[in-house]
Structure formats: C-alpha cells, structure tokens
Copies of this chain bind each other. A is one copy, B any other.
C-alpha cells in the first residue's frame, strides 16, 4: 500500500518504522514484523511498531536508522530474515551450520534483528549450548565483521581473564613483563560493565586508552605493548550488540563468551593467548572442574582457529590485590611494578606471564624482569606512548576524600571476601565513573582478626555516595569473619 513517509525520532538503534493500527491491519502485519519500503526504485526493510498516537492513518513514521526516506512510498509485508529461522533451529537444539551462524552474526551486526529475536538467540545458545564446531564458526563469523590488526611478527602474545574477581588487575603488570621480554603484546581490555573498574578504566588513571588501529600499531612498534580500551576499535562490533540481550538476565552463554574473546584476539592479530578462568564462591565459575572444562573449551576452539591458547585456572574466591576502583587499583599496579605492593597480585601476574612466555617459546624469567625494574620501565614507556605521564608516582594517585573504615564486630578468622559484594560496594561508592572511589581491603581469607580491627576502608568523592556504600556494607557482609570452629563447618 502507498503511505506518506516522514522522519520520526524515537531513539531506537533499529530500522524501526511506525504504522498506524489501521494501516497495519490493512497490510496484515503485526508488531516486530518486517515491511519492505520502496521509493524511487530503492528498497529498504523496516521493523514494524504500531502506534495510533504518533502516526495517522496513511502515514509511515521512519526512524533515522533506516536512512532518509520521505514522501510517497510503497509498503508491503516482507518475509522474516533467514536468521530468524536459524535462531529457532537453535531453540530446537539442532546444530547450526557455518553459513547459518554467519547469517545470524551479520544480521546482528547490521541491526536487522529486533530485541525478541536477539534475546531468543542468546537464550537458545545459553539453554542448548554450542558444539565446538558451532563455537568455531561463531568465532570466525564474529571476526569477519571486525576490524583487523596485522603484525609481521610470527609470535604475538595476548592474555584474557573471564573476570569476576574484584581488583584482579594483572594485565598492567603482565603486559610490561612480556613486552620487556621482547614479545609483542597488543592488549585490548574492556571497561567495567557491572564491576567498579575494568582494566581500561584503571589504565585511564595513567594515560589515554582510546586509540585507532593505526595508533595502536605505532604504540606497539615503539614499546612492544599497549593497554588500550577495546571498545575504541571495532574488533568485535557484534559483541557490543549482543550484550543488550545478555544484560537483562545476566546471561553469559559459554559458546558466546569463547567466541567473543577469541574473535577479538584473532582480530588483534594475536597468535598465543593465555586464558585465565578464576573459580570459586563469588566468582563467575563455581567449581574447579567447571573452570577446567571452560579453559579446555577455549583451547580446543583456539586450535580450530590456528591460535595457540594456553588454558589456565586460578582460585577466584576472593579479590586479588588490596585496591578496588580505578585509582586504588592503579596504586596496587604501580606498587607491584616498583617491587612492592600486594603479594597475591604480584605472584599471579608473574605466574601468568611465565606461562605465556613459555607458551610463546621465549626463554625469559618473568620474575627477574619484574624485580630488575625492566617491567616498570616498560610500563612507563607504554604510559608515555599512550599520552600519560611516565614519571607518575603513588603520591599522584590520591583516593577519594570521603572515607569510612569498616571494622570487625567480632574476633575470629576471615573465611570469605565476596567478589560480588565488594564490587557492588565499589560501584555504590561511585566507581568507575568516580575514578577515586572504591575500597581497600585490609584483610585476606584466613587472616586472624580481633573485634575492632579494620576490615576495609571505603573511599568516595561525595558524602552521599559514601553513605550509600556504607549502608550496603552494614547490611551485607562483604568480608566474613567467623570463629575458628564456625569456619570448619558452615550451616546453610
């Protein structure tokens, strides 16, 4: 039918068109169906929403994502995209072929799937899982639509942690160690989604993190490494879109997770990747068997892609380091690089660097590189190359002025420090948006404490956010203290 189109902005990222109910009935289309819109010989596909308030009969509201469409247009009912059929196939628990997965990925990338279809895709992958073949196809399809960085070197190192452990700021220590060992390591990291700081947020305390592919090449050429925000380069445009359907139900389907990580590493030109899967209460993976399985999945899919993936698992049932929040984590990083700082963070970074260098077949001593100050020098080179102050000191990294210390209300032993609660505390305090907000942990699991001992200190930039965080700390129990007897057996 012929309608008169005019532009309307409803703030959607999809190629939505708005139809009056009467016209939708005449066309025989329902909400979220597709229509084909033809004008001057060109056709586009729109996703239907119905509204009698915003558009009158005879008119078509065209959102900007569809391109500029004005005036008389011919509108007909268009078929569903093929990818919708493949999503249904996944919900039927049938294995998807490579071209079917590619069709889904391309339609997600081009915003051709509506929220219902995108969510059904994530739900299907979550509920029914993916075979190694499917995950490999998905990784390849996701890599195909991303930007690529290429290197002349036969060995390009990389590292990934699946996250979930507060304060686990290993990369800013590991990357300089590996770079100082003479191995290129173009590390891209994420910003926080639900945590108080991603590695990119922590690095932003020191220097810029948003660079183009060309700039990344220059930084790495100069320093062997970089510590940049992956979101500034389009290594995985699909990943950013899928998160919309993962976030509401906190779904993180394994096949999707592996494909997201490895497609980015593939696009970054990495050949050797160590993948760290922390496990334990309060982390993303509950048990060690599950962690080993996931780590192995990474390795197998890496194999299919011709990428050397070294799987690693680590205890993740308490935070790593003392500081939580961008500035407080930056302090830990700088301290460790200077030969001081939290022992657990230093050990973990050195161990993962050792594993990665070994995997790359490079004869270098990670601990020695750190102790000798070569890692610190490499870090300062990277900071300088990324536009920061290479002479930064701990005195420059000042946490928020609003502070509250939380003390043990009984004597005993620390039995658990909960990653999720600690992260939630850090966010309440204002991190990552307020760089100086967060907390420092004074105790680790197994530490003896007396009533009145400091458990942790919260830092904020405003009094009201400090209050919010302290309210949560009083209500919940981020650091669990029990008697020695209670620690032996927990009632549930």
Contact = CB atoms under 8 A, between A and B. Distances in A.
Interface of A: 9-12, 18, 25-26, 28, 30-33, 49-51, 53-55, 61, 80, 84, 87-88, 91-93, 114-120, 122-124, 126-128, 193, 243-245, 247-251, 427, 433
B118 A54 contact: no
Contact of A247 (B18, B28, B31, B119): B31
A80 B249 CA distance: 8
A338 to B, nearest CB: 32
Nearest to A19: B11
A72 B114 CA distance: 33
Nearest to A30: B247
B249 A88 contact: yes
Given A91-B123, A123-B127, A127-B91, A249 B53 contact: no
A403 to B, nearest CB: 21
Contacts of A244: 31-32, 116
A54 B9 contact: yes
B10 A91 contact: no
Nearest to A115: B115
Contact of A87 (B49, B93, B128, B249): B249
Contact of A120 (B53, B88, B119): B119
A250 B53 contact: no
A117 B249 contact: yes
A251 B91 contact: yes
30 contacts: A10-B10, A10-B11, A10-B12, A11-B49, A11-B55, A11-B61, A25-B433, A28-B433, A30-B243, A33-B247, A80-B248, A87-B249, A88-B249, A91-B123, A116-B116, A116-B119, A116-B244, A116-B248, A116-B249, A117-B119, A117-B249, A118-B119, A119-B123, A120-B120, A120-B122, A120-B249, A123-B124, A123-B127, A124-B127, A127-B127
Nearest to A464: B1
A123 to B, nearest CB: 4
Nearest to A84: B249
Nearest to A85: B249
Contacts of A247: 30-33
Contacts of A51: 11
A217 B117 CA distance: 41
Contacts of A30: 193, 243, 247
A252 to B, nearest CB: 11
Contact of A119 (B12, B25, B80, B119): B119
Contacts of A193: 30
A433 B25 CA distance: 7
A407 to B, nearest CB: 27
A46 to B, nearest CB: 14
Contacts of A32: 244, 247-248
Given A80-B248, A91-B251, 13 more contacts: A11-B49, A11-B53, A11-B55, A25-B433, A28-B433, A32-B247, A33-B248, A88-B249, A91-B123, A91-B249, A115-B115, A117-B249, A120-B251
Contact of A127 (B10, B93, B243): B93
A245 B54 contact: no
